[in-house]
Amino acid sequence: MIRIFFSLGLAITHNVVYSENIYKAYNNTNGLDWWQTGIIYQVYVRSFKDTNSDGIGDLNGIKVLLDFVPNHSSHLHEWFLKSVKKIPPFTDYYVWEDPVYTKEGKQPPNNWLAVFNSGSAWEWNEERQQYYLHQFLVEQPDFNYRSPMLVEEMKNVLRFWLDRGVDGFRFDAVNFIFERADLVNEPESGDPESEPNDYYSLNHIYTLDQPETYEMVHQWREVIDSYKKSENDTSRMFMVECYSPVDKIMQYYGNDTALGAHFPFNFFFIEHFNRQSDAKQMRDVIASWLANIPEGRWPNWVLGNHDKNRVASRLDSMLIDGIQMAQMLLPGTTVTYNGDELGMEDTYIRWDEAVDPWGLNVGIRRYEKFTRDPQRSPFLWDNSLNAGFSDGPKPWLPVNPKFWRDNMQQQTKYKSHLRTYKQLVSLTKSPTILYGDLNVFILSKWVLGFSRSYLDHPTYFVVINLGSETERVNLLNARYTLPHILKVKVSSVNSGLVTGNLVRTENIILRPKAALVMTTSRTNEDDDNF
């Protein structure tokens, strides 16, 4: 059982005070599944590797989890075309509603807004003489999950891929799949940065995280679990994407009577951690997930994805090693967005190069605020043409101009973010990291520390300097009885130290944005043979 404690200490000159145990993980330390012991690596396929020279990435599978979009289809999909014509059973596969007539004429059924269009979430269809709901693009009509036929059809889609051997799914925008049936108008949000008809100008209490959504997640879990028919079968798993309040997020894990997703994505480091964050705020980000997770459920940590600016651009490129130390050595599963292991930064994409519908729809004035093109630029494989992404004439998005220096091939040759990442991946196989206790403590305003310990296995200490000044850290102020010398296991590229260096426990020097993983083990061999 993993036991997790959070310190309330605020300075290195005071003894650290610890709170009570607030989180219990899996009790069976010998029964972790494959998705709990490995790294989930998110590939944005269009930008990862082009193998047929058309400038667009493709994927020749490995152990594969598919991105599954349950909320909507294309307006060109066969189901939608038949629904427009009211051909059974497709008539009610989508959300159709009659217009409301006012003195101004025909109007949409309510004030609901679309995410990408800066306008109504309803589109008039002349042939059917009704509005259809599209919470994203006009070209993406929403499914109607109040139709039993549609529900079974979507389960069959899952079965189609499961029968072909996929190992699981990432369910996209799952919290959008149900809307309140009586079509009540949503209240204004009061967001001062939103313009009229912007999506965020409303508080979406009737179109997100509806009670029926959790029941649908339970049903999907039953389908996925049915593919593990014996103990020898490989487990299939699924994760759900939802940017929601913490109380609603945790319901996607399921409850005492019905299982939900294996986990909802933990976006707290994306949403609640930035360049201004100090050690206390980082501690709170960690605690807010672990303190709320249902007993017996599994945590996860996400730093980036294809919809958010890259972590190296949101924070500081020199902090990437330290933040990944936290992500990979805290209890739970690490989810890495391709390129973050290199410390890739956003690529500036001009308006005339833009392809993201969201950015295009809001127009040139607000393009840079909403576009997702910068974090979707091609993976940097080497310093050849198009960074090795494609040998075609032109990739679908421009390559980052730093490709000649910050590419994967170059980073294998010297102390780099990639080599640090690989060291951390190896360390995640350690029994201490898989099963060990967690203690989190604040060592100064800008330095966060945490430790992982497990029985007689080596203990690991992580210290991260979030600040802009060099800090002296004294771990003897922490709870442990520690040796006076610790060995560096993993170090950030800016730390000035390398694996195997010895440091004095009461006088650890951390450069700005530097971070270290240290161990009580003094052996030169790989600890625990992992």
Active site residues: 172, 241
Token code pair at residue 479: 């709870």
Token code pair at residue 76: 């060109």
- As a whole number of angstroms, the distance between CA 471 and CA 224 comes to 49
Q: Which residues contact 176 (CB under 8 A, 6 or more apart)?
A: 71, 135, 142, 207, 208
Q: Which of 149, 20, 49 is nearest to 396 (CA)?
A: 49
Token code pair at residue 136: 């994203």
> In this structure, which amino acid lies at residue 131?
Y
Torsion angle (degrees, nearest 10) of CA 98, 101, 105, 106: -10
Instruction: Identify whether the C-beta of residue 413 lies closer than 8 Å to the C-beta of residue 437.
Output: no
Which residue shows structure tokens 């161990």? 519
At 473, is the secondary structure helix, strand, or coil? strand
Instruction: Identify whether the C-beta of residue 23 lies closer than 8 Å to the C-beta of residue 293.
Output: yes
How close are the terminal C-alpha atoms of the chain, in Å? 21
Strand order in the sheet with 130-133: 96-97, 130-133, 122-125
Say how many CA atoms lie within 13 Å of 392 toward its Cβ: 18
Q: Which residues contact 380 (CB under 8 A, 6 or more apart)?
A: 339, 342, 344, 387, 388, 389, 399, 400, 402, 403, 406, 407, 408
- As a whole number of angstroms, the distance between CA 439 and CA 418 comes to 27
